[in-house]
Amino acid sequence: MRFIRNFAGALCMMAAVSCGQSSGEQEVAVSADGNTNPVIENIMARRSIRRYKDTVVDRKIMEQILLCGINAPNGQNKQSWEVRVVDNPATMEEIKAMMADGLPEEEAERARVSFRGAPVMVFIARDLSYDFSAYDCGLLAQNMMLSATSLGVGSICLGSPVRAVYNSPKAEAVIEKLGFSKGYELCLCVGFGYADETPDAKPRDWGKVKFLD
Ligand SMILES: Cc1cc2nc3c(=O)[nH]c(=O)nc-3n(C[C@H](O)[C@H](O)[C@H](O)COP(=O)(O)O)c2cc1C
């Protein structure tokens, strides 16, 4: 079993794999010939950010990120998502307060911190009438996070605010505030902002991947 421990290690591992080395014995730096691949570098550089600067991401930049999101592959091009963007600090606080309202203090605090301090939050709802809509929403989220990385914007995919919303006595009010259409259900959040930390890559288990002969 092999773990990818950091960006450089991951690049070495990928190079080894692309050279047909399944166990990575012969590791070659991707950039050895001076030709790096910016898409692969971007994918390997993305990390979940849990500390943000206060600066809100400019709407023009967020529009670019959202445009990349809705260009994700999606089943039958149904675009089985709806997206709501909150970048107004007052609205963000209002939503957090609604989520926490009526909960015991410990749960209320968990709900409040579930956004991980991101100054921009994208709420994604899935079309309940389409069985693959959760995958569509995941791909939308990933396109947004990767494009954000390429633009110097940090991001984090978040499931816990979704749980917090549905756990809240005020769930209906929060959903109404987000304004999703009937037949859509909140399924994922993605936070954006400028990173105030540089986390290391978490280990990946290469043993979960196998080529079949
Ligand atoms: C569906 C999904 C839900 C997640 N929910 C949370 C969450 O609620 N809180 C959190 O801090 N991170 C959350 N994450 C981020 C993961 O913890 C993170 O992607 C994982 O640890 C790998 O780290 P990396 O993104 O830096 O590579 C979530 C990620 C995904 C894909």
The count of domains in the chain is 2
pTM: predicted TM-score of the whole model, two decimal places: 0.88
Take residue 38 and report the two structure tokens written for it.
Answer: 């910016």
Is 207 within the bounds of a domain? no
Is 111 within the bounds of a domain? yes
Shared domain check, 170 and 71:
yes
Take residue 78 and report the two structure tokens written for it.
Answer: 């149904």
Q: Domain range spanning residue 33?
A: 3-45
Shared domain check, 178 and 76:
yes
pLDDT by position in tens, the chain (length 213):
233 334 444 444 444 444 333 333 334 335 556 678 999 999 999 999 999 999 999 999 999 999 999 999 999 999 999 999 999 999 999 999 999 999 999 999 999 999 999 999 999 999 999 999 999 999 999 999 999 999 999 999 999 999 999 999 999 999 999 999 999 999 999 999 999 999 999 999 999 999 999
| SS3 assignment, position 180 | coil
Shared domain check, 161 and 87:
yes
State which ligand 1 atom lies nearest to the alpha carbon of 141.
31
Shared domain check, 90 and 181:
yes
Is 212 within the bounds of a domain? no
Pocket lined around ligand 1, Cβ cut-off 6 Å:
47-48, 50, 116, 156-160, 202
Q: Can you say whether the dihedral through the CA atoms of 168, 96, 143, 2 is positive or negative?
A: negative
Shared domain check, 169 and 109:
yes
Shared domain check, 174 and 139:
yes
Take residue 9 and report the two structure tokens written for it.
Answer: 């290690």
Whose alpha carbon is nearest atom 30 of ligand 1? 157
Shared domain check, 168 and 95:
yes
User: How remote is the CA of residue 79 from the centroid of ligand 1, in Å?
Assistant: 23
Shared domain check, 77 and 40:
no
State which ligand 1 atom lies nearest to the alpha carbon of 161.
8
